Chain A
Amino acid sequence: MLHQELRLSIMSFLANVEWANFKKLIEVTQASKGNLSVQITKLQGAGYIKVRKSFQNNYPLTECRITPKGREALEKYVSDIKKLLNI
């Protein structure tokens, strides 16, 4: 699940903040709206992130935050990579 560039970018960013909105994730990952939306749905489906949708001044607002399960998965992924690279 995490061995995909955009999903890993989203997870790595969210692991270091409390929450980020959709606009911020586009800015940091440089991804297209469509692609980001698809990957966010996949991460949400896996239970790695929580998504809260609301409206602000009639504009849709999507806030994402990492879940404990997602944090654990990211930590395991990093540790597996370190083992592979002998770091």
Chain B
Amino acid sequence: METTKSLEIIEAMMSESRKSLHRNSFYFLLWGILLVPAGIAEYLFRDMSFAWFVWPVVGVVGGIISMIYGNREAKRTGVQTSTDRITYFTWGAFLFGLAFSIVYAVSNNMMPHALILAFTAVATFISGGISKFQPFIWGGILIGIGAIICGFVLPGTYHPLVFSAAIFLGYVIPGLQLRKKEHE
């Protein structure tokens, strides 16, 4: 084998590995589809004592679907990159934050939205950084602003609506942009 051929092979394989990206837009759209209506439902049923119940339901449903999809996706691509691993750990940590926020807020008679949005902002911002996808970086910032509004500006009644708006703008829209990019 010629020496220049060796370099060509190495370069070609590096390029192949860069193509081995998982279709992560699914997770953003799935969680967006679950979380935006959950916020609106909580606002509409705010006078009913069971309104908070939408959150654990959404968490369990989203978690199960994400796991099934993740397994299928790993089989489809047959490869895992370091970006995938960092993404799994980031969103794994986010799930802990989500569960903690709900349990902590409910047991202390607090609204959980500011905390959930803060954790979502961090995970979305990191995802944007590691995947070098600018809309998620801006999405993370937008969701962070939503967390500040819930935490310090508006009364609790409006938190579910701010939550849904922040998730839609900072999560669903970048998710749709990523989906478009994945299908190009």
Q: Which A residues are within 8 Å of any B CB, using their own CB?
A: 3-5, 8-9, 12-13, 15-24, 27-28, 56, 77-78, 81, 84-85
Contact = CB atoms under 8 A, between A and B. Distances in A.
B6 interface: yes
B21 to A, nearest CB: 11
Interface of B: 1, 3-7, 9-10, 12-14, 16-18, 20, 75, 77-82, 84-85
Contact of B80 (A3, A17, A77, A81): A17
A23 B79 CA distance: 9
Nearest to A18: B80
Contacts of B12: 9, 12
B77 A24 contact: yes
Given A5-B9, A28-B16, A20 B79 contact: yes
Contacts of B79: 17-21, 24
Contacts of B20: 17, 20, 24
Nearest to A16: B17
A84 B78 contact: no
B16 A81 contact: no
Contact of B10 (A12, A17, A28): A12
A79 B5 CA distance: 15
